[in-house]
Structure 1
Amino acid sequence: MPTRPHLQVSCALIEQDGRVLAAQRGPTMSLPLKWEFPGGKIHAGETPQDCLRRELMEELGVQIAVGKALPSVWHDYPGFRVTLYPFICLLTAGTPVLHEHAAVRWLWPHELAQLDWADADWPVLDAYLAERGSG
């Protein structure tokens, strides 16, 4: 049985004025049109925090301050396995520009669960809401 790829991914719960940024995956990406906390694959020799700073500049054209880490999450998708390393972040510069995503939305924490999230992002959302006392 072939080994499925195991991706190491950082993701950001970017806060601004009490709201959190949600990003909708593009139609040609894996997990098309699912919502996610933006981020990306960690390169060899790169910290999860450095990955976030790089990925968010590449994908959305924004700069962030990386804050508190939330518990990491493992999830098995049909074709691959992912470990997510989530961080609560603050937007420090820029306005999100869609380079890869179909849409972004700034939502109040209590509105986040209304979206159709990628499966691996649900435990991240739960941890965030528990951390913020909004769950």
Structure 2
Amino acid sequence: MPLHIRKLCVGAVSVEDLKEWQDERLAQRGSIGHVTRMWPKRQDEVLDGGSLYWIIKGVMRVRQRIVGFEEWPSDDPEEKPKCRLVLEPELVLTEPWPHRPFQGWRYLKPEEAPPDLGERDGNGDMPPALAAELRAIGAW
């Protein structure tokens, strides 16, 4: 069973904003990734189909499949190398789930992850902000 990772998407104000930023990086580097200071200790579980779930403006909104990990040089030669999560370019919209801020990243169990948008009947037409608000108050 895959293990996922959740992370705040700092700087992006929307999924479209994240997509534009990543498209630029894909054109420059040939791959999409996210660099973090801490290496996941449970890499094998994450690589077994896990995704990075992005939290944008306090709402978990989109995910990307994690396809690998690689060393990324630190700016300080005294520091150990950082970890780059290598991501598939495809962004998969999820049901919007509100989320409180935190530092770094956290593991996300499959049963705690939001379903992809449209997996449940009737979700496709609701504006994401409204769906997140209804979920926050327990009405959905």
TM-score by length of 1: 0.31
**Which one has a larger percent strand, Structure 1 or Structure 2?**
1
Q: Which has the higher contact order (CA 8 A, sep 6+)?
A: 1
TM-score by length of 2: 0.30
